[in-house]
């Protein structure tokens, strides 16, 4: 495997950043600085980036989890709260979450040990549409739906075009499907707060074309080959 890909897949940097690290002399192979970007890493090679040994011998795994409420989207938590690692604890690979969901949001979250795909998917240029079901307080008027679709100010930032559809509603609450392709912190909650309908519960139901379907909270499923290819080409 080419050295830039090897470094990227280990989750150390994007492929382009890996090329920069190589050009700047930050990468060593078996103790010697390696400045050849086309170097083909051999079995047994010891690759170091900034003095740290890079391990890339794992089988690549790609899973979709249904994150339950009350779990943090990190590998470790300094406050000792449950993390999404709990859901994939029987998988023998060092997975990490791609992007994040709030503690109080449930639903679709990708986890992988393919650092390159994670970089690709979280880069703003490739940000895929993420679809949520939001139960919001009160009635959402047509005028508010139009504002959400066009873009609302969530405190110094105006959101870009969103897909918004009312699924059902009563006088006290409305269930809304919303798709956005940005990932600002607490964006969906802030968007509904901006139009005066605070979110009561929030679930992510799809990441691009990859849907949660009937996957239960706290469970995972491995992605199909087609789904992995789809994500790589997003």
The structure tokens listed for 81 are 């709260």
Nearer to ligand URA, 113 or 187 (CB): 187
CA 9 – CA 132 distance, rounded (Å): 29
Per-residue binder mask for ligand URA (CB under 6 A), 159-188, x = binder = ---------------------------xxx
111 binds ligand URA, rule: CB under 6 A = no
Contact 174, 166 (CB under 8 A): yes
Q: How far is the CB of 176 from ligand URA (least distance, A)?
A: 13
Nearer to ligand URA, 37 or 68 (CB): 68
Closest C-alpha to 212, from 49, 37, 66: 66
Region from 10-18, 47-55, 90-98, 99-107 binding ligand URA, contact rule CB under 6 A: 99-107
105 binds ligand URA, rule: CB under 6 A = yes
Contact 35, 21 (CB under 8 A): no
Q: How far is the CB of 16 from ligand URA (least distance, A)?
A: 28
How many residues in total does the chain contain? 234
Catalytic residue among 45, 78, 90, 102: 102
Half-sphere exposure of 42 (CA within 13 A, CB side): 4
Active site residue 78: no
118 binds ligand URA, rule: CB under 6 A = no
Nearer to ligand URA, 56 or 105 (CB): 105
Q: Which residues form the interface with ligand URA (CB under 6 A)? A: 101-102, 105, 186-189, 202
Residues with catalytic function:
102
């Amino acid at each position: 495997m080419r050295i830039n890909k090897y470094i990227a897949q280990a989750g150390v940097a994007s492929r382009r950043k890996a090329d920069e690290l190589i050009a700047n002399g930050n990468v060593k192979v078996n103790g010697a600085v390696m400045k050849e970007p086309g170097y083909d890493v051999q079995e047994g090679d010891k690759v170091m980036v900034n003095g740290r040994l890079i391990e890339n011998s794992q089988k690549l795994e790609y899973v979709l989890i249904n994150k339950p409420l009350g779990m943090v989207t990190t590998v470790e938590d300094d406050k000792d709260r449950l993390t999404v690692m709990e859901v994939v604890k029987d998988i023998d690979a060092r997975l990490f979450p791609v992007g994040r969901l709030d503690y109080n949001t449930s639903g679709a979250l990708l986890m992988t040990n393919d650092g390159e795909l994670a970089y690709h998917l979280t880069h703003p240029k490739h940000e895929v549409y993420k679809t949520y079901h939001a139960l919001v307080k009160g009635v959402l008027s047509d005028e508010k739906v139009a504002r959400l679709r066009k873009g609302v100010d969530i405190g110094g930032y105006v959101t870009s075009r969103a897909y918004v559809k009312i699924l059902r509603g009563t006088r006290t609450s409305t269930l809304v499907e919303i798709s956005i392709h940005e990932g600002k912190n607490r964006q969906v909650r802030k968007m509904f707060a901006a139009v005066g309908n605070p979110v009561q519960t929030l679930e992510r139901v799809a990441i691009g074309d990859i849907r949660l379907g009937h996957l239960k909270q706290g469970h995972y499923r491995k992605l199909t080959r087609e789904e992995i290819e789809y994500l790589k080409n997003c």
